Structure 1
């Protein structure tokens, strides 16, 4: 999740792509037409390249092998170095394009990759109607055109907690709002426990603490106002969330090594019971799965969404959740890329879900019984959730870096807010947003 942020230089550098030469089903949103070949049409002699990040380069491995066997195509998965999004943008700006790539399917990241010029529109794809209603139009769309194919459940910011630690400190039920969670946290601290574990050493998750506090405001149009310049990071809503985060750290509700702790440290702390709670996204749970059995996880780990007024989750799709298909100028490869997506989200999807042991995003495919309860609870929270800054804001400044500076004593909440707003203005200007 650390590879979430768009930089202004990449926005400026993005090059224009070629037109889509396909023919067939109309993609009304983009004003172009493309065909959607049968899933197993023969593709002997066709070579496809997929770009992936270090944490997503194994996701398509089996699907690719099965597609090769079914069609005769050759699929190469190439790992692009971190920071993934910035590296991809730089490569594309130089004219280097894959056929497909894992990509964060938010409007801001589709803008960052210059979707209209560089990507194939996916409207009319045969798999769209298979998505569960809560996910069908939740992401992957920019200016009423679909550019990304969702393959796994989008990440949700919320609270992963240790059930045994809750029981140890007499907490019988999960909290119903943010203040209720803090009351539980103070109860744990008063008895000598560690309430929250933060991975400030790797910085990128610090922003989740601010964003979950903004969930209710986001539902009421906060980010729309920010996008129009009617609300700023320095105004009470966002600044207040930043200030509260610092106050909770100062209160001693977090791990003492907050400025040096890593993502791995955070996972180990929650699983071992060293800490009671961590505000994180789905990739956090993946490392717990790698260290534990489903039975142990069901016994120890739970999940609940949180917001100031209730249990509202904050959705933030990750690049591992979706793929985009590029306009390469080669009509055969472009059609083959669309065929690969159809195959993955068609014939191959039941096996993919089972192999990955993950929650299904299609109405006709059951979630495997071996998927841990906490992951199911995380996915179930999407229906009542709200989009994160990355989803709803037109650009995404380095809030997490500024917050990490605050944790290290190098910035006040006010400085965090002003620095973030200044970068937001710069990025908005770079894409030509009105009013900036």
Structure 2
């Protein structure tokens, strides 16, 4: 999963936002959802049908919850798969007044803005499950303009380093890097010993390229980098963003990546790391899904580890995607809106333990254990969230095509400076289009 999308899609979101602002006011809620009641989880809903929109990679996620909720309440829940590009398709539908009761959605400020959240989404501010979240996850995402619009159901993805434990052991690496300089020193040591340090891909859609830049910005992000970018006080052509682009290019030129970087694909990355062909990959949680399709938990625990990385330490960079959260729409039907809130209460209430087990996932809640089937690497990813910082997607007001520009840099059709310039130009256009101050 790319966790971002082409500028054309973002521009479509802007157009959708404009249309939504001109849509029939009857499409809004009949009441103030911020003060709306939360029905008991077992309230009878016989005769009520709820619709949940999901992407192709999230349409099976609700299965256990839907089965339990229907049995408990008598409701009918229809999960409808929206074709890719998922985000663009939903924005177009919502702009024309076509809304579900609930939808999977990337819970970042920019993507909540793209849905015109204050007009189209129910507030979840007083949700009964909030105090059940682990403290570090309660307010990590899903909030726009001090209002909570998204319910987190799984842990957000984290940008960091997946590594082959056996390759490290064979190379005599007994301690994990604790900052960027040590990380690169390990890579150079591996290369000297004849091992490919990093695997990345530039063929097709090189969506993972941007992680290499963003992990280098973790410290700056903690210090307010994206606030400065959002206010047009700092640009992608300025330090530290341009410096991070330059560093990525320099590491490629140094030969620390797979020789077929220009043509390699995502499908080749997992096998390369699992087999030890390469020692490390900077990636997000969806990459681990590929590894889980190739090996069982025992083999993954034996071979694959994870650590976050940043310039000065081990700070992770979190990037929630649409499979991590749900939003509830204002449909104008008070009964269905209440039923949608009830489904969320059940999902993160009595149905949550079964959901965690069914998904073999990490628990978000202090009172529910993670599945025993979760590999150690994913537990390490979850542990890193407590000290993590938001990515560009989580904190910037718009998401330009950084990954595509970096892909062009890998192919030799853009210089690092041109990557910064092109990304900044598009970011400014998008920020201006949504009315961001300073643009």
Q: TM-score, normalised to structure 1's length?
A: 0.96
8 Å CA contact 2:29, 2:333 repeated in 1:
no
Distance in 2, Cα, partners of 1:200 & 1:39: 48
Q: TM-score, normalised to structure 2's length?
A: 0.95
Match 1:314 to one of 295, 299, 317: 317
Hey, what does 1:385 align to over in structure 2?
A: 388
Match 2:189 to one of 187, 190, 206: 187
| Structure 2 unaligned spans of 5+ | none
8 Å CA contact 1:51, 1:79 repeated in 2:
yes
Hey, what does 2:10 align to over in structure 1?
A: 7
Secondary structure class of the residue paired with 1:49: strand
Distance in 2, Cα, partners of 1:346 & 1:13: 34
8 Å CA contact 2:142, 2:151 repeated in 1:
yes
Hey, what does 1:272 align to over in structure 2?
A: 275
Distance in 2, Cα, partners of 1:382 & 1:159: 14
Distance in 2, Cα, partners of 1:3 & 1:164: 30
- Deviation string for 1:238-283 (max 9, x for gaps)? 1110011011111111112222222221111111111110111111
Distance in 2, Cα, partners of 1:3 & 1:302: 22
Matches within 5 A, 1:317-332: 317-332=320-335
8 Å CA contact 1:353, 1:367 repeated in 2:
yes
Secondary structure class of the residue paired with 1:121: coil
Hey, what does 2:144 align to over in structure 1?
A: 142
Match 2:220 to one of 204, 211, 217: 217
* Corresponding position: 1:421 with 2:430: no
Distance in 2, Cα, partners of 1:9 & 1:162: 40
* Corresponding position: 1:50 with 2:59: no
Match 2:69 to one of 63, 67, 70: 67
Distance in 1, Cα, partners of 2:56 & 2:181: 37
Distance in 1, Cα, partners of 2:340 & 2:262: 43
Hey, what does 2:230 align to over in structure 1?
A: 227
- Deviation string for 1:389-430 (max 9, x for gaps)? 111111111111111111111111111111110111111111
- Residue 369 of structure 1: CA displacement? 2.6
- Residue 129 of structure 1: CA displacement? 1.0
Hey, what does 2:257 align to over in structure 1?
A: 254
Hey, what does 2:83 align to over in structure 1?
A: 81
8 Å CA contact 2:199, 2:278 repeated in 1:
yes
Larger CA deviation: 203-212 vs 90-99: 90-99
RMSD: 1.4
| Structure 1 unaligned spans of 5+ | 28-32
Matches within 5 A, 1:125-140: 125-140=127-142
Distance in 2, Cα, partners of 1:367 & 1:10: 36
Hey, what does 1:156 align to over in structure 2?
A: 158
Hey, what does 2:339 align to over in structure 1?
A: 336
Hey, what does 1:395 align to over in structure 2?
A: 398
Distance in 2, Cα, partners of 1:362 & 1:20: 30
8 Å CA contact 2:64, 2:354 repeated in 1:
no
- Residue 48 of structure 1: CA displacement? 1.3
Secondary structure class of the residue paired with 1:7: helix
Distance in 2, Cα, partners of 1:3 & 1:184: 28
Distance in 2, Cα, partners of 1:70 & 1:287: 35
Matches within 5 A, 1:164-183: 164-183=166-185
8 Å CA contact 1:225, 1:231 repeated in 2:
yes
8 Å CA contact 2:12, 2:88 repeated in 1:
no
Secondary structure class of the residue paired with 1:48: strand
8 Å CA contact 1:303, 1:374 repeated in 2:
yes
- Residue 335 of structure 1: CA displacement? 1.0
8 Å CA contact 2:52, 2:101 repeated in 1:
yes
User: Aligned pairs, how many?
Assistant: 429
Match 1:408 to one of 404, 407, 411: 411
Hey, what does 1:30 align to over in structure 2?
A: none
